[in-house]
Amino acid sequence: MPPDFFSFWEMCETMNKNDPTNALKAIKLKLVGPFDVLAGKVSEVYEEDLPDFLKHWRYYYDPPEFQTVICNENSSCYHMGYFRDDPKEMPVFVASNILNPKDPEKNGELKIRGQNLFAALNSYFEELKTDPFSRMKIPQLQKTVTSWAKEKGFSLEKTSKAMEARSKKVVASTFHKAGIVVPVDKKNDVGYRELAASNSMIKKMLKGLVDSKSEEERAKYWEQLQPVITFANIANDECDFGTSLELGQDLFTYGSPLLHRSAKQLLTTAYTLLGRNEFATIIEVHLDDRRKGGNLSIL
């Protein structure tokens, strides 16, 4: 975990010595996930328990790259987490996700909050100031967080050089909006190729497939989607692993259980070929038990 994670915990200990996980209770947020380890809520983990812990606070639309650390347990399922492109690397930013009842197709979209937890929470404070019920609780909390961050040397800027460098490496926009980064050999043009259909065309296929009133109607949309899946699999054979990663993430983010089998095949293959085996394990475990709702603790 990055340095800001541990410093954030230390700050919360000063705010609520008896239960640091509830240090942000005034704004209905609590620390979860890996913070549960620091809180002593996880003592021993046996090998047979590992699959369950991979689902600990993993929300319905969280891709393997996303690790929830702060949440609001209300019906909006609002949560923040670290985003890393590779399981062996440190996170490059903190993002958030929230359900969108007015436009369900946006349920899986991630909003980049900042380069660390302090910047992310500061960004959240600014949004809360527009809520008359939360406005009065913000000034003192925000002062505590920003003062700690400045004292400990953590930037409150939303962007960083690392984030800017990553944006230049993003090979494709994805339905979740965070994009994907994969190794690309520009000299030999290997690593990624565009999908066989545009995002708008794929969304149209998926909407038709999910909304079909009969199996016969659904089969027609599967016939349209299958060549796109086949194209991505062929791309793997020619070392363009990013193609199946992009399509797999898009199918996952769309959210329908009808797409789980194809999403799992595409993503486990892509992650394995990219050497991101931990992500392959996470997506398998998640899709085998993909749960909706806001209380996703396994403790």
Catalytic residue among 10, 89, 127, 238: 238
In one letter, which amino acid is 40? G
In the chain, alpha helices (H): 3-15, 35-38, 50-54, 117-128, 138-152, 161-169, 199-211, 215-237, 241-254, 260-273, 277-288
Residue with the two structure tokens 């939303």 = 158
Q: Give bridge partners of residue 190 from the DSSP assignment.
A: 185
For the question of residue 13 being annotated catalytic, the response is no
* Long-range contacts at 221-229 (CB < 8 A, ≥ 24 apart): 227/196, 228/195, 228/196, 228/197, 228/202, 229/262, 229/266
Provide the 10 A C-beta neighbour count for residue 272.
15
Q: Do the bridges between strand 170-172 and strand 180-181 make them parallel or antiparallel, or are there none, so unpaired?
A: antiparallel
Q: What angle do CA 275, 280, 284 make, to 5 degrees?
A: 170
In angstroms, the CA 95 to CA 194 distance is 25
Q: What share of the chain is helix, strand, coil (3-state, %, to 5)?
A: 50, 10, 40
Which residues are part of the catalytic machinery? 238
